[in-house]
Structure 1
């Protein structure tokens, strides 16, 4: 009788252990299925709706991916589950790359690219607002402008030179205001030197660009 009770006890413990093990595997499988379903659901959301919440989407993906990877350890034969996870990883990375392209801001226009090169990224827009130029930074602004023109003078078209002249005159106009706001005599002297360098460079190279355009037109 005692032996029967002992065997029954062992059987109950084994059954309980098996049951716990099965529950653990079942929970792990559900975690992996949830991860796979999340990737599929994200792919079905419109790009415009995703854009505003993309950081949250990525954070949730990272959380679910980590949980799915951990869950693999609780599945005895996890080759099929591993394959499912890897397939969803590839699917998500492809989708992420696609969305990165979709969410990327449009390339700036040629005119904006010219402004960016002369003044710095996004410093000057179509409104030609120079309020950010002050007594402390105006010398460096002139410096970047003139040195950029000097380095690229052989690449500019006549139209580029005309745009450069307009921006140069707008900067000069800002200088008239800045002079009353504490521009040092030292910076004023350095700016004068840059202006002396720019004037003949503009005249000669614009004439050269126009001449080249005329030759090309005749051909």
Structure 2
């Protein structure tokens, strides 16, 4: 009789543990489903509304994503749940890239020109060339001159004025870099690029001005 009571007691304890475990797993699955549903619902919100509350959307996403990731530990066989999380994560990242592109204003024509001459975002309104040093200045000149050479027929007179402004700023930086260990070999190569740029600038700016004057007469 005593043994029966002990076995019954153990069975009740095990049943209690199982019940708690099942409840914990159920809660974990709900958190993951909530995360998946959030990603799907965000994609249905109007773009204007998303733009106004994008910071809040991202904060809520981060919270739900973290909860879902932690919930995996409470699911015994979580391969399916993991796949659900990963699928939603990819969906959200793709959607986020789309929204970021929509929310970010297109750069001005001047900034687009600077990006082409030096690289995306390297030169902004502050016109800082502090990132140019003795190790990379030759490649900076190289990109600048080759970009101008490849696009010289499409530049307007205003473009050439901006190019000249950027060229002079780069030259000014070179004067500083020369004192910081610029090699004689790189200095020689830069001189060659400068010799190529000077007549190209003069001739093509004159041509752009002539074209604009001809268009104005029409």
Other-structure match for 1:203? 202
How far, CA to CA, are the matches of 1:147 and 1:90 in structure 2? 43
Other-structure match for 1:78? none
User: Per-residue displacement from partner, 1:182-215 (whole Å, max 9, x unpaired)?
Assistant: 3233222221111110011111111222222233
Other-structure match for 2:190? 191
- Return closer, same or farther for 1:59/1:204 CA change in 2, 3 Å cut-off: farther
Matches within 5 A, 1:1-219: 32-41=29-38, 43=41, 46-52=53-59, 54-55=61-62, 57-61=64-68, 97-104=94-101, 106=104, 107-219=106-218
Please give the TM-score of this superposition, normalised by the length of structure 1. 0.65
Query: Would the aligned equivalents of 2:72 and 2:78 in 1 still touch at CA under 8 Å?
Result: no
- Tell me how many residue pairs correspond in the alignment: 204
- Return closer, same or farther for 1:30/1:216 CA change in 2, 3 Å cut-off: same
Unaligned runs of 5+ in 2: 1-17, 43-49
Query: Would the aligned equivalents of 1:51 and 1:103 in 2 still touch at CA under 8 Å?
Result: no
Other-structure match for 1:9? none
Pair member with larger Rg = 1
How far, CA to CA, are the matches of 1:180 and 1:138 in structure 2? 13
Unaligned runs of 5+ in 1: 1-20, 74-85
How far, CA to CA, are the matches of 1:113 and 1:98 in structure 2? 25
**RMSD over equivalenced CA pairs, Å:** 4.4
How far, CA to CA, are the matches of 2:79 and 2:22 in structure 1? 9
Question: Aligned-pair distance for 1:151?
Answer: 1.2
How far, CA to CA, are the matches of 1:54 and 1:30 in structure 2? 18
Other-structure match for 1:16? none
How far, CA to CA, are the matches of 1:139 and 1:89 in structure 2? 44
How far, CA to CA, are the matches of 2:68 and 2:207 in structure 1? 57
How far, CA to CA, are the matches of 1:195 and 1:112 in structure 2? 23
Query: Would the aligned equivalents of 1:29 and 1:71 in 2 still touch at CA under 8 Å?
Result: no
Please give the TM-score of this superposition, normalised by the length of structure 2. 0.65
